[in-house]
Amino acid sequence: MSDLVLCLICKKVGPWQIQIHSRHGPNVYDQKHVHITRSGLGGDYSWNKDGSRHDKHLFPKLEPMIKKAKSIAAKELGIPVGSLQLVTNVPGGLYVNISHIDDATGRARTLLDVYIRVNEVCHILGEERGLVVVVSDEV
């Protein structure tokens, strides 16, 4: 086995702290990834180069700043914003609530409110222009 060298780049963009990590190991799932946080967030957003979630247990829930974090992550990883995942598998199922915050009023409007069972698959793709949600019972 060859030696692995971890490359870590830390930088700050406004109130956001960004860490860009190279691969941590030789496995397929060990890939370049980014961690993004800011004061008071209670965790960090993190994605892998392929758009999948990284360190899923730390991902802040219902955080209204997700749009900015996704934008930063996509830029740092060199991938489209719409390819970044928000939801991952949870044993037994997962309650999904996606809301949109109106910039003018600051009020939240529910876009999706559903429970995805363990035998269902949910794909959520989003970008500036819209949101596509596909729920299937094919695992």
Distance CA 35, CA 45 (A): 6
pLDDT for 16 equals 92
Q: What is the pLDDT along the chain (139 residues), one digit of tens a residue?
A: 445 556 778 888 889 999 998 887 777 667 889 999 988 887 888 888 888 888 766 677 656 778 888 889 989 888 888 778 775 555 556 666 677 777 788 887 777 777 676 666 667 776 666 777 777 765 4
pLDDT for 139 equals 47
Assessment of whether the complete model's pTM goes beyond 0.75: no
pLDDT for 42 equals 79
